[in-house]
Structure 1
């Protein structure tokens, strides 16, 4: 009986370790991630699409997501921020273009092209995603319907 319990525990542990390592994620993606984020913890991998992998992880107590192409090239890192962490120039650009709107969510997106601030706002009955670059230029304005908002 005791040998059976030990065997079951061993199988459970082996299954857990296999899931934690996600052997389907390409080695070059894992290597690039480890090099770029050496202090990342609690890493979870998912295939974003046919050419991209996404890691969700924690670093310095903050939740991040980072995307890499299948060759291991870094594409983007995102994390949520508070309004108080957004530069005044960016807040001014948003409130000037969308007065009387309510900010529901803010993320910072770092890419090879630079830093972008992504806002989910509500203006009346309309939900929108607004992306502003680090110079205060609105680079994207997209209407969101209820389904889009619920899935983000």
Structure 2
């Protein structure tokens, strides 16, 4: 089914040059980053039609805490997974080769012609197939009857200049709203089965000062986040149970690995919330944006005492973790820009 081989990291540049080049160009591969590589690289050789994977483990110690990250590369140098603090007893069982069944295989062949499988997941009757085609990673979702639901394709920032992946009118719509192509960090392309018709939209992750923002664009221009294209996305059982208990009635609308964490986007109380888990599926935190009117009364009173009115509030983000809930309130008043970190009782914990 699969052979796991350990090779010295020192030989990676010789045995898998594209993997080595991709790793060296990443943040983890920079000498100044402080990340240290393990001496060994795990190589997963699998059956025909599946991707050969190289797993590089890196670690970094900051403030007395060590963080481990597992990086999964294809032989062509495509980073398909980045997992923080994975299970130490990883045996790669989930990467045993699987073959797409029936209509799923036929659909994939028609869509991509040539592809290799990275992983297949089956949860709640749905099937998610992760494939590599044309040097890009595609996550394809099918329902219980093997009908196609959606495709999410991970693109590089440079693909904004490649009409094969991102049409020129999409980039123009982005630029009309004063977003610079040079500030694109990542791009996700979504193709969705919407009532039998294909609907395509893009998510651009943009650098904006110290922050990053997601900008959604379709053929009509800048849009709010669509409510299609992932409603009911499947996630692992343990995470499903956690979400059902923590956020009753929530619907999973998207999932991805971002900066090493499993990032689950849910629609809860008509709000999109971003829930992050580490490689052991342990909950790290949840963040979401909030309107001023939805702020707890204690926080609004604090803002008033500090001399700020609703018109001065530029943005509000809520962060919830095991320690509690904090509100990050961005203020713009005259020439002053300030960020206040406030707890649920209205106490300012930090400001800058």
Q: 1:76 aligns to what?
A: 285
Q: Which runs of at least 4 in structure 1 moved beyond 6 Å after TM superposition? A: 6-9, 13-16
Deviation at 1:98, TM superposition (A): 4.7
Q: TM-score, normalised by structure 2?
A: 0.32
What residue number does 2:196 align with? Answer: none
- Structure 1: give runs of 5+ residues left out of the alignment: 1-5, 23-28, 143-152
Residue in 1 that maps onto 2:239: 33
Q: Which has the higher helix share?
A: 1
Distance 1:120 1:63 in 2: 19
Alignment partner, residue 147 of structure 1: none
Quote the residue 2:259 is aligned against.
48
Q: Deviations over 1:9-61 (max 9, x none)?
A: 61139988431579xxxxxx944432222442212213234xx3322232343
Q: Is 1:65 aligned with 2:300? A: no
Aligned pair partner of 2:331 in 118, 121, 126: 121
Q: Say if 1:70 and 1:99 are closer, same or farther in 2 by CA, change over 3 A.
A: same
RMSD: 3.3
Counterpart of 1:132?
342
TM-score with structure 1 setting the length: 0.67
Give yes or no for contact 1:32–1:73 (8 Å, CA) kept in 2: no
Q: Could you tell me which of 89, 105, 108 is aligned with 2:315?
A: 105
Range with greater deviation from structure 2 (12-21 or 83-92): 12-21
In the alignment of these two chains, the number of paired residues is: 129
SS of the counterpart of 1:37?
helix
Alignment equivalent of 1:10, drawn from 101, 107, 110: 107
Cα deviation for residue 134 of structure 1 reads 1.1
* Structure that is richer in strand per residue: 2
Structure 2: gaps spanning 5 or more residues? 1-102, 118-127, 131-138, 142-151, 153-234, 245-249
Cα deviation 1:117-142 (Å, max 9, x = unaligned): 22121122232221100121111213
1:67–1:76: 8 Å Cα contact kept in structure 2?
yes
Distance in 2 separating the partners of 1:129 and 1:32: 36
